[in-house]
Amino acid sequence: MNHSFLLFIALILSANIYAADLSSIKKELKTLKELCDASLLDAEECKKQRAKILLTLDKKEEEIWFCNYGGENKLGEPILAEDGVSFSESSSVNTIVREILDEAGLVGNFIVRAASVPNAAASVRMGDRYIEYNPSFVQNLKVGTKTNWSVYSVLAHEIGHHLQGHTLKPGGSRPDIELQADEYSGFILAKMGASIKDAQKAMKTFGSDSASGTHPATQQRLVAIKKGWDKGKEPDDSKPQPIAQDHEAENKDVPPVTVQTPIQQPPAMPVSSYLYKCVVNGEQVLIDNTNRVLSVPRGGIQVGQRVPPNHPNCAFNLAAPPTGVYCVGHNGMVYFGTPMPVGQCIQCGPGQC
């Protein structure tokens, strides 16, 4: 192969690179690989041309849409499992995203992954849509707010950006669309049974008191969440109406449930007997004789199902009470992806629970 032909190939690659769109960039990489594998270009020329293509790819990848929940202007790189993402947080976030989409009656067409973002983010890169989260932030969010609803709230906000088409428009985040995502977050949490206090907890804890060029101040965002929550609580005439819950009572001291105080169940959910009483990640649940998992603090609503074990060390599994699949050991301890228990179950005797 003479030098003129090699130079001709290189010139074609160089001429096309900077005018190419993303699909043609991928084709350029494939074509270059074929040329190099066939030894039609020497190693130095292959390296040089590949660097040019990747430089263009980097520039294209910067042409993205993204929003961080707290307003930080920082993109993240993916964090792989071997980099320290716990099974618990990864499983928890994916389960929550699935539950939010199930409530909306939708199937997600975006990628959920751990990343080095400040908190959580919605982004579009190379034509793919992402929900990214910082595992440490998720853990601190649970601990700092003392409720899993805060994680639901943050993820619903980012999902709202995708579902409302914000990520299809150039220019990135703006205050008006941030308020729309906050409103969606409040709406979907109301549909899922959260109180307004729970729906606003994450924003009150991690929001900024001052506005920025992309994000409004906390007070405006709290108003948007309340607006969405009010819409979510409006009755839907096409569905049977559940018994109203007194959300104000959630702000008062409520005595702990004892064996002398049976849980009052909604009439729509008759229960003949309870099999187990469990505390899972701080939430009390009951398992009835139909294998339903019922939440005590949420007024007896069903939050999961008792299912057969997927491991010989499990007596049985609890599916999503409230997030994830838990293994109940033969010793009654509840595990969630780690050797450390996250709760305990006790078997109900006659007249107990």
C-alpha–C-alpha distance, residues 83 and 99, integer Å: 26
Q: Which secondary structure element, helix H or strand E, spans residue 73, and what is its range?
A: none
Identity of the amino acid at 288: D
**Coil/strand/helix, residue 287:** strand
**What's the full length of the chain, in residues?**
353
Task: Give the 3-state DSSP-derived string for 244-255, with helices as H, strands as E and coil as C.
Answer: CCCHHHHHCCCC
What pLDDT is attached to residue 209? 84
DSSP secondary structure code for residue 259 in this structure: T
Taking Cα atoms as reference points, which of 255, 218, 81, 228 lies closest to residue 156? 228
Residue where the block lists tokens 């294998």: 291
- E strands along 215-353, which residues? 274-280, 283-288, 292-295, 302-307, 314-319, 325-329, 333-335, 341-347
Residues of the chain falling short of pLDDT 70: 1-23, 54-66, 70-91, 171, 235-272, 322-323, 350-351
According to DSSP, the β-strands at 128-133 and 111-114 are: parallel
C-alpha–C-alpha distance, residues 180 and 84, integer Å: 34
What pLDDT is attached to residue 94? 83
User: Structure tokens of 283?
Assistant: 């939430």
* pTM (2 d.p.): 0.51
Each residue of 28-82: pLDDT tens digit? 878 888 888 888 888 888 888 887 776 665 545 444 566 777 665 555 555 444 3
Task: Give the 3-state DSSP-derived string for 138-188, with helices as H, strands as E and coil as C.
Answer: HHHHHHHHCCCHHHHHHHHHHHHHHHCCHHHCCCCCCHHHHHHHHHHHHHH
Q: Domain coordinates of the chain in residue numbers?
A: 3-61, 65-233, 270-347
C-alpha–C-alpha distance, residues 77 and 3, integer Å: 41
What pLDDT is attached to residue 69? 79
Distances (CA, A) of 11 to 5, 7, 33, 50: 10, 6, 16, 13
Taking Cα atoms as reference points, which of 253, 137, 138, 149 lies closest to residue 201? 149
What pLDDT is attached to residue 11? 47
